[in-house]
Amino acid sequence: MASSGSSTLLSIDLDALLRRVKPEKRKGQLRPRPEADLVPAALVSGARRLPLVPDTTVYIHNAAGTLPAEVETLLDGALQWHCSVCLGELTTGIANYSPAAPGWWGMKDVYAEVFHAIPDSRVLTPDDDAWLSAGLISSTLARTQGLQRHQRKELLNDALIYLTAGKAGLPVLTANRDEFDLVQQIAGTGLFIHYAPV
């Protein structure tokens, strides 16, 4: 594809991204790491003003009343940042929920209140580097883990959330322990805190 002489060229170095992710070296299936190698929410639940990014699962479990007590405590004292990818996943779920269902209006109102409470200054959006790196990571995992097509899109979103939070120096709080563990194994940087819903 040719470019005109007056336009600015893409500043992203694909070779550098490929050197960082190394998809060609990933041939075998990755395994989730043992619990002892990860950070459970119970370990940090007493921390005050811990900055973190809630994954989409946190919003969903909170709305359903299935957050463990230690996660509620952690969130109450946390300095929460929000990823636009999570907010997009929530709006996808809202639109996918049948308006004819008896709980639709209540569910819509719950999430409208959540969105209304988020300060504009605390929303993180993936940049070009995060998008391209997430594509490399999620596709590498799709190949090595033998994932189905719908799982690839979910993993792309998880990688975007993880990388966006990591670039801001923030951990992700999630119930998707295995997915974020696999992303972290390839990304090599970043942090997530996991929990199991009740």
Whole-model pTM: value is 0.88
- Interatomic CA distance for residues 53 and 166, integer angstroms: 10
Residue 59: band (very low, low, confident or very high) from pLDDT cuts 50, 70, 90 = very high
Domains, the chain, ranges and CATH?
37-194 (3.40.50.1010)
Beta bridge mates, 52? 80
User: How many residues are listed for the chain in this entry?
Assistant: 198
- Report which residue type is found at 33: R
Q: Is the confidence at residue 3, as pLDDT, over 90?
A: no
- Which tokens in the block code for residue 87? 């907010």
d(CA 172, CA 161): 8
pLDDT score at 84: 98
Mean of the per-residue pLDDT values of the chain: 91
The Cα–Cα gap between 167 and 129 comes to 10
| Confidence check: pLDDT of 36 > 90 | no
* Residue written as token pair 């959006």: 125
Q: How many angstroms separate the CA atoms of 106 and 88, rounded?
A: 19
Gap between the Cα atoms of 168 and 82, Å rounded: 11
The mean pLDDT of 12-37, rounded to a whole number, is 83
**Angle value at C-alpha 95, between 126 and 137, nearest 5 degrees:** 30
pLDDT tens-digit readout, 128-162: 999 999 999 999 999 999 998 888 899 999 999 99
* Residue where the block lists tokens 């300060």: 119
Query: According to the model, what pLDDT value does residue 58 have?
Result: 98
Q: What per-residue confidence (pLDDT) applies to 15? A: 79
How far apart, in whole angstroms, are the C-alpha atoms of residue 154 and residue 187?
A: 17
Closest C-alpha to 42, from 196, 161, 183, 189? 196
Coil, helix or strand at residue 60: helix
